Amino acid sequence: MNCQRAAFYFTVLTLIPGASLLPAADTPLLKTRMKLESRQPVKIVCLGDSVTGIYYHSGGMRAYPEMIEIGLKKLDPAAKVTVINSGISGQSTVDGLNRLQKDVLDQKPDLVTVMFGLNDIVRVPQPDFEANLKTMVAKCREIGAEVMFCTPNGIYETPGRPISKLEDYNQAMKAVAAETKSAFCDIYGAYQAVKAQSELEFRLLCSDPFHPNMDGHKLNAEMICESITGKKVSLSEVGPPTPALAHVAKKVAEGKPIHVHAMTPFDKWIGAALKSQFPNAEIIVTPWKIEGETIVQLHVASQGVRALNPRPDLVVVAIPLEVTPLLSKPEEVALADYVWTMNFALSFGLQEWDVIGIAPSVLHAKLSDADQDRENFARRMINAQHIDLITRPQDNTDEPSAVLTEWMKRLKQE
């Protein structure tokens, strides 16, 4: 998320009634906030489903809970904050309640954030949803933990998950928060505010109809950080975790061969580039042939990445310029196919191999205005996927192989 987009979201969020959630003296957030301000250790556990957990849609290395920790430490670098991610794909409040003791209470948190709803609307009746939330509050308070309810992100309408039903459950969560005097963070409302200003900006926060990409996760974390502290924080410039290629480096240290699955023509150059950083490594490259493929065909082919045998250690995604959508006006189908090509390049859960995205400019040193628009789309969506991005430096006219090798050299220096 660049500075311009950060300014856009700041403007939008100021339009949300109650967006600045400064805790009053009688709110349960006060204890957590006082501990933060006095720089005492604070432990936060984030309970939820796949939106909370670490999965492909946010790059497979972290999600909004990890961003909350970054945000709170950005507000106060001396803060002693630990955030534990307790999100599991496919779960509802029923599942969350069943594992509350082990995954939450046994961690002895000061604050528990609870984000459910997207799966509850499919299989948990609303009265049960409300009862489960109330039980969570009671059990958390038994150990002295405060609770913050968080509505999930905005979604796209599907037959199984109608938006109107999600909004009913969100209202039920808000009512439970009021009844139990728990903190409430309306993340869904933040997405709706963005959508009201720009349908495209809302869509570019989404990895698929139900999950946010990392730009969306950053918005989640910014809202939660503000709810806790009463202060705004921007996470727009936070990049992927360092060091890059950590999985590859680990395999090299173990003396194991490195299996690379690389979109053509980068299959010809990635081996030599890796050798510049790992000179003693055995590199085995399998080409991912993309010449003449449409973005739909690339999406279909990407579904085979997770089934590769042997499993890759590195996947190189370099979607061609000619099938990359325009950022100024992307067609929905092409946008979805582009994002899903990147989604399937990652493992489903915690990242099991490294993934790098290569912007079209690495192959095309000179870009027309329309091509630059496509380049901007590629950069934004790769960054939003929270994977490492290789671009051509400004005014650089080197061969693509040299650009790739130079990125590896900078990586080694870092």
CA-CA distances (angstroms) from residue 28 to 31, 182, 260? Answer: 7, 6, 50
Give the count of domains, the chain: 2
The answer to whether residues 195 and 323 belong to one domain is no
How far out from the chain centre does Cα 403 lie?
27
b/e sequence 167-177, b meaning 16+ C-beta within 10 Å: eebbebbbebb
Q: What is the pLDDT of residues 163-208, one digit of tens each?
A: 999 999 999 999 999 999 999 999 999 999 999 999 999 999 999 9
Confidence of residue 27 (pLDDT cuts 50, 70, 90): low
Q: Mean pLDDT for the chain?
A: 92
What's the whole-model pTM score? 0.91
Asked whether residue 320 carries a pLDDT value surpassing 50, the answer given is yes
The answer to whether residues 19 and 154 belong to one domain is yes
Q: What is the pLDDT of residues 56-78, one digit of tens each?
A: 999 999 999 999 999 999 999 99
Asked which of 229, 255, 270 is the last residue of a domain, the reply is 229
The answer to whether residues 266 and 379 belong to one domain is yes
Across the range 389-408, mean pLDDT stands at 92
Whether 19 maps to a domain, the answer reads yes
Neighbouring C-beta atoms of residue 392, cutoff 10 Å: 22
The answer to whether residues 253 and 222 belong to one domain is no
Query: If we measure between CA atoms, which residue out of 347, 343, 382, 350 comes closest to residue 54?
Result: 350
The answer to whether residues 308 and 356 belong to one domain is yes
The answer to whether residues 219 and 341 belong to one domain is no
- DSSP H or E run through 247: helix 246-253
Whether 234 maps to a domain, the answer reads no
The answer to whether residues 191 and 301 belong to one domain is no
Whether 80 maps to a domain, the answer reads yes
Whether 235 maps to a domain, the answer reads no
pLDDT at 350: 93
Query: If we measure between CA atoms, which residue out of 73, 45, 265 comes closest to residue 150?
Result: 45
More confident of the two residues 7 and 358: 358
Q: What is the pLDDT of residues 220-240, one digit of tens each?
A: 999 999 999 999 999 999 999
Asked which of 229, 259, 291 is the last residue of a domain, the reply is 229
Q: Which residues pair with 148 in a beta bridge?
A: 113, 183
Asked whether residue 116 carries a pLDDT value surpassing 70, the answer given is yes
pLDDT at 410: 82
pLDDT at 24: 38
Whether the CB-CB separation of 82 and 109 falls below 8 Å is answered with no
CATH number at residue 65: 3.40.50.1110
Whether 236 maps to a domain, the answer reads no
The answer to whether residues 119 and 68 belong to one domain is yes
Whether 360 maps to a domain, the answer reads yes
Residue 301 CA neighbour count, 13 Å, CB half: 18
The answer to whether residues 201 and 134 belong to one domain is yes
Confidence of residue 157 (pLDDT cuts 50, 70, 90): confident
The answer to whether residues 26 and 168 belong to one domain is yes
Whether 237 maps to a domain, the answer reads no
Domain boundaries, position 157? 3-229
DSSP-assigned letters across all residues of 103-126: HTGGG--SEEEEE--TTHHHHS-H
Asked whether residue 16 carries a pLDDT value surpassing 50, the answer given is no
Asked which of 176, 195, 229 is the last residue of a domain, the reply is 229
